[in-house]
Amino acid sequence: MKVAVLMGGASFERAISLDSGKRVCEALEEAGHKVVPLDTTKDLVPTLRSERPDVAYSALHGKHGEDGTIQSLLEFLEIPFVGSPAAVCHDTWNKATIPLALRSWAAGQGGMSSASYPQGVCLARDAMKDMGAATAIDLFEQRIPGGYPLCVKPACGGSALGVHRVECVEDMGAALLDALTYDDEVLVQEWIDGVEVAVSILGNGWDAHALPPVEIIVRDGLYDTDARLSDEAVDYYTPVRPSSLSNNEADAQAIRAEIERASLEVYRAYGVCDMGRVDLIWDGAQARVLEVNVSPGMTERSLFPVACDAAGLSMTAVLDRLVCEHA
């Protein structure tokens, strides 16, 4: 089949997207498909109409790639594509929607849910700039359980861009300003300590299944943008080490199952399709969901390929199956 692989774009994550796109192209060519690699420039639509691909795969990350923009365009052009529809991408793009998604899911399941999330508030740039909300940053300590340290991050975005651990009110202003350079809304939440885990998922609805969870260990500091792009800053363990979850092997297995169950719950709550990744922290008592990624990275160090390897799945086989399902 002729497969258009969309990559690059104009987001802060352009470089990562180009790396992901390159690896996707290589895998699909290995599977025997005719690949058309396309940067998302002003020539994209004319080229798509001229090439008339059987199916598209978006390796775009960040704005325009995960917020529903490219998906709505492909829907308009009536080009089948791998991944979630525009409406789902629009919802998952904003991390502030996680509480509503999980509450709605729990209501449909008789009030039962394995997943939780950090408590916090979401404020718009306009409220900070034009309505005086910046004068009330002293209230964060009262409004958010546990007080400092707090997590400050853009409501929308990936690769940990603009994420800060804030230890005191004096440092809050600078963190808010930086986060708001990446998005129009900022989240201020509990800082959650625990085991950081990424759970990649394949499939749709009740047929979706979790791949082995990847445990993320940062050698120094935070799992921020620089750490994610470094070969030396982070260690991955796939699957998550039982000893990180509990000293008792049976308990560790039960906790891992709980982590996978929580990830599948939020995946299904949003209606994510084909593939995705759920990032969370096991805080010792529950799985605290941080975000849902509808366009996982596909670079050599990305978490989705690492999970596929641990599951005995080749990227060639996974991507071949996904594009064939949509053609």
Beta pairing partners, 280: 197, 289
Q: Do domains 2-82 and 120-190 have the same CATH topology?
A: no
Task: For residue 317, give the nearest of 6, 23, 2, 31 by alpha carbon.
Answer: 31
DSSP 211: P
Q: Cα(237)–Cα(239) distance, rounded to whole angstroms?
A: 6
Q: How far is CA 129 from the centre of its chain?
A: 28
- Where do the domains of the chain lie? 2-82, 92-116+192-294, 120-190
**Residue 113: per-residue pLDDT:** 81
Architecture of the structural domain at 120-190: 2-Layer Sandwich (3.30)
Peptide bond into 239 cis (omega under 30): yes
Cβ neighbours, 10 Å, residue 258: 16
Residue-wise pLDDT tens digits, 93-106: 999 999 999 999 98
What's the pTM value of the predicted model, to 2 decimals? 0.94
The secondary structure element, H or E, covering residue 107 is helix 98-108
Of 9-13, 76-80, 193-197, 239-243, the one with minimum mean pLDDT is 9-13
Please state which of the four CATH numbers 3.60.21.10, 3.30.70.1450, 3.30.470.20, 3.40.190.10 is assigned to the domain occupying 92-116+192-294.
3.30.470.20
List of E strands, the chain: 2-7, 34-39, 55-58, 115-116, 120-124, 150-154, 164-166, 185-190, 195-202, 209-210, 214-218, 234-237, 275-282, 287-293
Q: Look at the block and give the residue holding tokens 């906790």.
A: 255
Say if residues 191 and 129 touch (Cβ distance below 8 Å).
Answer: no
pLDDT score recorded for residue 327: 78
Q: What is the pLDDT of residues 161-183, one digit of tens each?
A: 899 999 999 999 999 999 999 99
CATH fold of 2-82: Rossmann fold (3.40.50)
Nearest to 204 by CA among 88, 115, 103, 91: 88
Question: pLDDT of 55-65, one tens digit each?
Answer: 999 999 998 99
Burial 38-51 (b: 16+ CB within 10 A, else e): bbbeeebeeebeee
Q: Would you say 315 and 27 are in contact if contact means Cβ atoms under 8 Å apart?
A: yes
Q: Inter-axis angle of helices 86-93 and 249-270, to 10 degrees?
A: 120
pLDDT digits (tens, 9 = 90+) for 222-243: 777 777 777 788 899 999 999 9
